[in-house]
Structure formats: C-alpha cells, structure tokens
Amino acid sequence: MPTIEISKKDLFNLIGKNLTKKELEEDLMLVKGELESINGNVLKVEIADTNRPDLWSSEGIAREIKTKYGKTNNLSFEKLKNSGLIVKVDKNLKKIRPKTVCAVIKNLKLTHEILSQLIQLQEKICETFGNKRKEVAIGVYDLHKIKGPINYKSFKPNDIKFIPLEFTKKLNLNQILRTHPKGKEYAHLLEEHSQYPLFLDSAGEVLSMPPIINSDYTGKVTEKTKAVFIECSGFEFKYLMPSLNVIVAALVDRGGELQTVKVVYPEKEIVTPNLKLKKIKINWKYIEKRTGLSIGKKNIIKLLKQANYKVKDKGNNLELEYSSIRQDIMHPVDVVEDVTIRYGYNNIEPISPKLITTQKINKINLFNKKIANILIGTGSQEILSYTLTNKNNLIEKMNLKNIKVVEVDNPVSKNWSSFRTWITPCLMEFLSKNTNKEYPQQIFEIGEVVVFDKNAETKTKNPVRVAWAKADKKSDFTDAKQILDFLMNAIGLDYSIEEIKHDSFIEGRVGRVFVKNKSVAYVGEINPKVLSNFRIDMPVCTFELNLTEICKLVKK
C-alpha cells in the first residue's frame, strides 16, 4: 500500500477549502486513505487502494475530495491539440522494450510542491503499478531542449555515451549500469540483452536510457521548465496507457495544456494519450441490493456524481461515463463500491442477519487450526501470503514447464495475475525476502489453492493445503520427513512415500506421499536451480499436504 507525503497547504489549495484535522481524516476515507502523521505542513498519507495510481498524489486526492464540496472536475479531454511531435520506434526493440506512449504538456508553472508531487507520483507508479520499472518506466523531459522527431532505438553498450542525471561526465551504457546508483538498482532488467534502449532527439541528444536513467541535459526538469515531454516505456499498453494518463491528468490539474504525440511503430501509428471517457451500465436496484441501502435512485445518482461519474438516467438502468484514468473499474460491483464509499461506511447501520441456522465452525477450519498448532509445536512460524501470485513464481522460478494455472483476465499488475496452484512457491518467495535474517528459518502456511475442475460450476475448485519449509545450511530430506512423521502421527495417519521425479526438487530426494492409497503430498529437497531463481543461498527442504483430502481420511 503506497504511502505518500503531501503539502497540507498545497492540498487545501487544490481542494479549494481549508479542512480541520477531523474533516481531513474523514475526507481521506473517500480515497481509502489514512492520515499517518502531520509534521508541520507535511502530511503522510497511506493509500490502501493499490489499483488506483491516480490517487497517489495530492492532485489525485484533491480530485476525489473536492466534489464533496460542490467542486467539479474536468473528466474528459475529447479534443486535444496535436503537439506536432513524432516518436519513431525502431523494430530492433521488439524483444528488448518494445512499446512507448507519450504526451506533451505546455504552459506549465512549476513550483517546488508540483515538482515533488510529480517525482513522487512517477516513482510510485513505476515501483508499484509498474512492477519496479519492469512493466512501466516513466521519463519526464524539458521539451524546449528537445528537437523532434524523437527516435526510440537500441544501441550496443559501448556505442554511445551521455551524461546521466546527477552526474557530470559522459558514460557509456555499460558504465552507467555499473556505476550509477539507478544503474546498479535496475541493471537486471537489461542484463539478458546485448543492446539497450535509448530515446534520442533529431540532434542526436540522448533523452534517456529506459528503464534506468534520464540524461542530465534533457531529463532535468526544474521550476524554470515551461513545457515537458513525457514517455512511458514497457511491454504492454494495458499498463502504459493508464500510467501516462495519470501523470498527464495531474499536470492538467495544475493548469498545464495537454497535447498529443504521434508514435510511429514499424507496423502502425498511434496517437497518445487517449483520454476519452469510459462507459459502463448498471441497474440502480442492483446497487441497493448489493449495499443493502434503500436510498432510492435519486440519491444513488447524486452519490455517483460525487464519485466523478457522468450519469444518464435510463429508467432502471444508469449509463455511466467515467475518467480514463480509472483503470480499476472492471465490473458493476466496482461502481457499487464507489457509491458505498460516498455514502460512508460509518453511516451504514449494522443489522443482525435473520438466519434459520445454528452457528458452527466448519470442520475443515477446525482441522486447519489443529494442524497449525501441531506445526507451531515443532518451532515453525506460520506465515500468510496472497492467493494471487504470478506465473513467473509458480512456473519459471520453480523450474517447471507447461503447467496450467487459473489466470486473471484483466490483471492490474503482472505481480498478481494468476491464482496459486500450490503454496510452496509462496514459501520460497518469503524465504527470498528474508535472506538477511538469522538461520535456520522454519515456516509453514495453511491456505487455499485454485486448480482446474471441469465438473465444477466455475470449472475450478479450492482445496486447502499446508506447506512447510526449512532453510538452513544443513537442511535436507530427513528434516522434512521428520516433521511430516510428527504431523501424521499426531493426527493418527500412516503413510508411505514413493520416489518420483519433480523438476522443482533434487532428483532422488523427492517423494510422493500416499495415505490409504491416495496421493496427498510432495516431500523433498528444493532444486538448486529453484534456489538460484529465488536468490536463496541456503538449502531448502519442504513438503506440501492436501488438507482437504487428509481431513476426509482422518474421519474414516
């Protein structure tokens, strides 16, 4: 969850109203924000919504709050002036960093506060939404120092030199990766390529080396800068377009004049940014049903307008238009959430449900608690990770191929694009983030996985599993089997192990666990290739049990 710093005075100027501390805390709920601290003029705000990069700046927060006080927003930019600037994309970038979208903002009056918010927003988008610059890297440049057209090309590491931002001497591309702080931090994004991407103008002046660093000449934006060129580079438009839209919307809110840029690819031409309003239909009675609020269509329309929707009343259905900077609205339930936020969660009166049932804990949950207590008794620490992950962690890093996983159709980020099919990769990721901690590290997690089931209504099922792992210089198969022995003995089950081959484990040190002739688990030592992929220096042993099946077998 991003935490941002903003100027209280600047925020109030954007809102058009001074707020008391209590009012500010209440209004921040409109952006799922929480006021962490106030230090003089500096506000530190945590934004709980990772799907709304448009809220990660004072401009975005003010945009949502000011409608509460009758202020309006310019949601649509249907008729944008063409800047005349052209960006040409070279075909050789196809396998390196193939896509870019661009914009021009003129007539800017930049201040220290505007620049600090621009830099912060740029960094938050790149690090969070852009997966640490892999999916999105953003460059902002002084337009008056650029001679169009701009070329986006690739070069060999020693073919060209330029002065990177905050440096004073020219370096070739390899030297930048080795010596510049940003080069060291993000070099891994280019390490598999023999050529690196560059933006250059028609005079041969380097703008930047994405996703690493801007040049010190064109890439230094100051309070004297009156116009900027903005580019977002990466691999997929579904990440690049929203990122560009959020950046330009913030600068337009500051009074800048937005103009388009023509981007010429080998196979097509596009004009960016595209800020046309998006549309969605919703039945107003559906909103009442999902929220449990009987407030009527008139009040629902009022709340939708406060949430920055344009509303057309079509009887039972409402036709909504909303800003293109909103990329989080994928289903009518997302609109319901906006209505609920505007109504105010604290204004909803809780009602005890009238159910003709008796309260009782699900048997599998009771069983899970028992398993957790047993493993805690072995000195293992329980962790909790997300059911959503990505194919890289599930498949590539685990040294697997052609494994079917359930994927999210329209993911906000590649980090959270697939449902986990097993929990062991989550343990490996956890261990990879704690390599600087004391060893041995002994952890486990109990949770659901999502696997295909053609007979189910949703074509998937969610069995519960427990995965255990130990990282230590002496960790081996025996360690994992000892914990498994202890666990199975505690729940009164006998089991057998058959040696198998599994690419995530060391050959000859992995087995399939059977209880009453039913396959229920894997146990073994993690393959060194997997350890290397996760950058773990210690041996790791692990097992993973299907608790849904084990629970049934215990009953028998």
- Residue 287 in this model has a pLDDT that exceeds 90: yes
Q: Which fold has domain 278-344?
A: Phenylalanyl-tRNA Synthetase; Chain B, domain 1 (3.30.56)
Has residue 496 got a pLDDT over 70? yes
pLDDT recorded at residue 408: 86
Q: Is the pLDDT of residue 122 over 70?
A: yes
pTM: 0.69
* CATH classification code of 81-272: 3.50.40.10
Answer whether 320's CB lies under 8 Å from 310's CB: yes
CATH topology of domain 3-69: Phenylalanyl-tRNA Synthetase; Chain B, domain 1 (3.30.56)
Q: For the segment 40-72, what is each residue's pLDDT rounded down to a tens digit? A: 999 999 998 888 899 999 999 999 999 888 887
Whole-number pLDDT of residue 361 = 74
The confidence band for 75, taking pLDDT boundaries of 50, 70 and 90, is: low
Q: Which amino acid is at 478?
A: T
**Do the Cβ atoms of 321 and 309 come closer than 8 Å?**
yes
Domain borders along the chain are: 3-69, 81-272, 278-344, 363-555
Whether 363-555 and 81-272 are alike in CATH topology: the answer is: no
Tokens describing residue 28: 């921040």
Query: Residue 530's pLDDT band (boundaries 50, 70, 90)?
Result: very high
Which residues are CB-neighbours of 446 under 8 A, at least 6 positions away?
368, 371, 372, 382, 464, 465, 466, 547
Q: Are 429 and 439 in contact (CB under 8 A)?
A: no
Q: Which helix (H) or strand (E) holds 498?
A: strand 496-499
Q: Which helix (H) or strand (E) holds 554?
A: helix 547-555
* Half-sphere exposure (Cβ direction) of 476: Cα atoms closer than 13 Å: 4
Q: pLDDT tens for residues 317-357?
A: 999 999 988 888 989 999 999 999 999 988 888 888 777 77
Query: Which segment of 181-195, 408-422, 463-477 scores lowest on mean pLDDT?
Result: 408-422
**Backbone φ and ψ of 391, nearest 5°:** -65, -25
| Whether the Cβ atoms of residue 388 and residue 419 lie closer than 8 Å to each other | yes
Angle made by CA atoms 189, 191, 196, in degrees to the nearest 5: 80
Q: What tokens were used for 515?
A: 């209880």
Query: How do strand 505-515 and strand 496-499 relate by DSSP bridges?
Result: antiparallel
DSSP H/E element including 363: helix 363-376
Tell me the per-residue pLDDT of 217-272, one tens digit each, with 9 for 90 and over.
988 899 999 999 999 999 999 899 999 999 999 999 999 999 999 999 999 999 99
pLDDT for 188 beyond 60: yes
Model pLDDT for residues 82-113, shown as the tens digit of each residue: 999 999 999 999 999 999 999 999 999 999 99
Of 227, 252, 159, 243, nearest to 197 by C-alpha is 159
| Chain centroid, CA 10 distance in Å | 28
Tell me which CATH code domain 363-555 carries: 3.30.930.10
**Which pLDDT does position 78 carry in this prediction?**
66
> What is the reported pLDDT for 415?
83
- The pLDDT tens digits for 534-546 are 999 999 999 999 9
Q: Are 499 and 514 in contact (CB under 8 A)?
A: no
Tell me what the mean pLDDT of segment 387-415 comes to.
87
**What CA–CA distance (Å, rounded) separates 325 from 314?**
25
- Whether residue 555 is predicted with pLDDT greater than 70 in this model: the reply is no
DSSP H/E element including 470: strand 464-471
pLDDT, the chain, mean:
91
The mean pLDDT value for 402-412 works out to 83
pLDDT digits (tens, 9 = 90+) for 223-233: 999 999 999 99
HSE-up of 391 (CA within 13 Å, CB side)? 11
- Kindly tell me if the per-residue pLDDT of 556 is higher than 60: no
